[in-house]
Structure 1
Amino acid sequence: MAGGWTTDDLDAFPEDGYRRELLDGVLMTSPSPTNIHQIIAGRLMVALEESCPDDLQVTQGVEIRVSKRRSFIPDVLVTTGTQRRTSKYEPHEVMLAVEIVSDGSQTMDRITKPALYAQAGIPYYWRIETDKVIVVHTQKIDLTDEIYQPTGQFADVVKIDEPWPISSLVSRLTPRHYRAG
């Protein structure tokens, strides 16, 4: 598309199950996630919901409109927008964005998205690796430099104080009969 894609173009697409994101006007589509990916996302939502403060909402796969030419869909997110029904959030409404790394998303989830989420001011970013075992990497934004700083790496128990006190066994996120790879 001449001049690049915009969020207006995204709105014109049919609801057909494809995940469409924008990176500086470049349209990116990704295939449906695997069952393992979705089980981890669902279990993470339940684990976060159990301790989540009432003024926050846990959801998954909802778009963040960063700008007219940037739009991302985190696997799981925690937002401040609890009073309305929406299919998209502004970055200031997102407290935590979580990406579950898969074979086709390694560079986006490890490098690109964290850099751009931090630049957009999203306070917390978690990355879940699924290579050999499930490992949750937690990060908090350094507002001065607009980058995330690591706050923990958890393979047994996710135990952190921010964005609220969370203590959850990683085994609760792990699908039954899980085989990495």
Structure 2
Amino acid sequence: MTAAMQDRRESEGWTTSDLDALPEDGNPSGGRRELLDGVLMVPPSPSDAHQFLAAMLVAALHRACPPAFGVTQAVDVRLSERRSFCPDVLVITAAAAERDARWFRPDEVVVAIEIVSPTSVAMDVITKPALYAGAGIPFYWRVETAPKLVVHTYALDEEAKVYRDTGTFADIVETERPWFIRIALADLSRRSRR
């Protein structure tokens, strides 16, 4: 890191260009680096159970995903030059899915999904949904794992730029938008596969 780069970061904070300049290896969080108003955040590595749940959710969404969309996980969404987050699971536009992206713009993201962990509660419940809504991402899902698996779904109120609650699901997630989705939460559990 150059002295000029360090001086700028101290006075103005980090940018997405700074993220691009960081090396790929040696990051204890498995490569996740997020920016909140120029402050670099390095979340702890997700647990195996967290990653398994994310993978199962990607698979469940992918099975029913129409051609207009794609499903992926843990790819950055750059809300601005000083804000970048890495949702656990994303539904993206078909055009975004066609390119081999290291990050997406908010207009390429249809659903941002966060799996709440003990170290991410405030970010996943308050901060990220507010900023995703402000950036115009149409849908947000919050997945809670304790004390049991529950999925909360939200849709963007475009005029107010906030999310409105569209459902809380403890057994089967069922929603009409962005397409008809029906997922039995038991199918996302490691225990159901044994």
What TM bracket, shorter-length normalisation?
A: over 0.9
2:21 aligned residue (3, 9, 12): 12
5+ unaligned residues in a row in structure 2: which ranges? Answer: 1-9
* Structure 2 partner of 1:56: 69
Secondary structure of residue in 1 paired with 2:77? strand
* Structure 2 partner of 1:39: 52
Return the structure number with greater relative CO, CA threshold 8 A, min gap 6.
1
**Counterpart of 2:12 in structure 1: which amino acid?**
G
Q: Map residues 137-156 of structure 1 onto 2, 5 A cutoff.
A: 137-156=152-171
Summarize deviations over 1:142-161 as a string: whole Å, max 9, x none: 00110000101001001110
Secondary structure of residue in 2 paired with 1:82? helix
**Counterpart of 2:110 in structure 1: which amino acid?**
M
* Structure 2 partner of 1:71: 84
**Counterpart of 1:20 in structure 2: which amino acid?**
R
- Say whether the 8 Å CA contact 1:18–1:31 is kept in structure 2: no
CA distance in structure 2 between the aligned counterparts of 1:161 and 1:75, rounded to whole angstroms:
22
Q: After TM superposition, give the deviation of residue 174 of structure 1 in Å.
A: 1.6
Q: Using the TM superposition, name which of 9-18 and 96-105 deviates more.
A: 9-18
Q: After TM superposition, give the deviation of residue 86 of structure 1 in Å.
A: 0.7
Instruction: Provide the identity percentage.
Output: 54
RMSD over aligned CA atoms reads 1.0
CA distance in structure 2 between the aligned counterparts of 1:64 and 1:56, rounded to whole angstroms:
16
Which structure: greater helix fraction? 2
CA distance in structure 1 between the aligned counterparts of 2:39 and 2:163, rounded to whole angstroms:
24
5+ unaligned residues in a row in structure 1: which ranges? Answer: none
- Say whether the 8 Å CA contact 1:55–1:82 is kept in structure 2: no
1:107 correspondence with 2:126 = no
**TM-score, length-normalised on structure 2?**
0.89
2:149 aligned residue (126, 134, 151): 134
Aligned length: 177
* Structure 2 partner of 1:171: 186
Summarize deviations over 1:103-141 as a string: whole Å, max 9, x none: 000000000000000000000000000111100000000
Moved over 4 A (4+): none
* Structure 2 partner of 1:162: 177
Q: After TM superposition, give the deviation of residue 5 of structure 1 in Å.
A: 0.5
CA distance in structure 1 between the aligned counterparts of 2:144 and 2:34, rounded to whole angstroms:
21
2:41 aligned residue (22, 28, 42): 28
Secondary structure of residue in 1 paired with 2:142? strand
